[in-house]
Amino acid sequence: MSDQSPAQHYLNDALHWFRYYKKLAERAFAQISDEDFFKTIDTESNSIAVNMKHLAGNMISRWTDFLTTDGEKPERDRDLEFEILPGTTKADMLAYWEQGWKCVFDAVEPPGPDDLMRTIRIRGQDHTVIQAINRQLAHYAYHVGQIVFLAKHLRSTEWKPLSIPRGRSLQFPEYLETNDSDSDRQQRLDVARRFASEVGE
């Protein structure tokens, strides 16, 4: 890491967190039945499927040609992202989810440090590439949190923790010392999940 420029380090870190939030959401909704996937907890809330549809729609709009075109594409129908059309299946939503994330990674992986201060536009407003990336990271984390909350609520006592289980925080440092021999940062994110599965809640 020490031989990276701060700009390159920022880009690598942004990609790391995009991948982390994608994986976190997927581990949550993998625990959900097809029926619960489309459930809401009240009339004002969004289902997991709606959150995914909105995220994917946002991703496709924001990241398609993101260095050269406005991030709010004229063909985007944002209101429709909050509706699940009749006949929509979980498989349909998963395919759309993957399409959205492909746009993210196809856009964020190629830029180099010299691109970070370039000006792009979102809804007619100027952003540096750094500001645009930060804006989307915050947005995705917000909705992934909603997905995790809904999945945990719907699974209730059958929920499998995605991080350190309640009441086990003091055991985790010892577990790290004896089980975490892999220094790769991306792999280290899986340690808490392994710990949760081994000790239970």
pLDDT at 180 over 90: no
At 124, the amino acid letter reads G
Band of pLDDT at residue 32, cut at 50, 70 and 90: very high
Q: How many CB atoms lie within 10 A of CB 112?
A: 10
Compare 167 and 132 and report the one with higher pLDDT: 132
At 16, the amino acid letter reads H
User: Are residues 68 and 112 located together in one domain of the fold?
Assistant: yes
Over residues 164-175, the mean pLDDT reads 65
CA within 13 Å, CB half, 121: 8
Distance CA 43, CA 163 (A): 30
Compare 164 and 131 and report the one with higher pLDDT: 131
pTM: 0.86
pLDDT at 58 over 50: yes
User: Are residues 52 and 149 located together in one domain of the fold?
Assistant: yes
Distance from chain centroid for Cα 85: 23
Q: Which helix (H) or strand (E) holds 143?
A: helix 129-155
Distance CA 17, CA 2 (A): 20
Band of pLDDT at residue 147, cut at 50, 70 and 90: very high
Cβ–Cβ under 8 Å, residues 48 and 37? yes
User: Are residues 171 and 139 located together in one domain of the fold?
Assistant: no
pLDDT at 11 over 60: yes
User: Are residues 14 and 43 located together in one domain of the fold?
Assistant: yes
Over residues 25-50, the mean pLDDT reads 95
Q: How many CB atoms lie within 10 A of CB 194?
A: 12
Q: Is residue 103 part of a domain?
A: yes
Q: What residues make up the domain containing 115?
A: 6-158
Please name the residue that has the structure tokens 């939503």.
93
Band of pLDDT at residue 162, cut at 50, 70 and 90: confident
User: Are residues 143 and 128 located together in one domain of the fold?
Assistant: yes
What's the whole-number average pLDDT of the chain?
A: 88
CATH code of 41's domain = 1.20.120.450
Alpha helices in 31-128 (DSSP H): 34-37, 48-63, 90-108
pLDDT at 105 over 50: yes
User: Are residues 102 and 194 located together in one domain of the fold?
Assistant: no
User: Are residues 146 and 190 located together in one domain of the fold?
Assistant: no
For 86, list phi and psi in degrees, rounded to 5: -55, 140
Cβ–Cβ under 8 Å, residues 146 and 44? no
Band of pLDDT at residue 1, cut at 50, 70 and 90: very low
For 96, list phi and psi in degrees, rounded to 5: -70, -40
User: Are residues 133 and 184 located together in one domain of the fold?
Assistant: no
Band of pLDDT at residue 165, cut at 50, 70 and 90: low
